[in-house]
Amino acid sequence: MEYLLLNKVPPVVPLAKISFVLMPWNRDPDVEPLPELLNTQQSKLTASRQLRVRKIALHVQEKLDRLTNNSSRAANSNANGTPGSTHSRNNSAKSHNNGARAETEYEILCGDTLLPLNMTLAAVRQYVWKQSAELVMHYRRRVVPVPVTGAHSHSHGHGHGYGHGHGHGSGHSGHGHSSGRGSR
What does the domain layout of the chain look like in residue ranges? 15-77+91-141
| Model pLDDT for residues 121-172, shown as the tens digit of each residue | 999 999 999 999 999 999 888 877 667 776 554 544 444 444 444 444 444 4
This prediction's pTM: 0.57
Residue 124: which of 63, 54, 28, 39 has the closest Cα?
54
Question: What is the rounded distance in angstroms from the CA atom of residue 34 to the CA atom of residue 28?
Answer: 11
CATH of segment(s) 15-77+91-141: 3.10.20.90
Residue 136 to residue 23: CA distance in whole angstroms:
8
- pLDDT tens digits along 71-119: 665 555 444 444 444 444 344 444 456 667 778 888 999 999 999 999 9
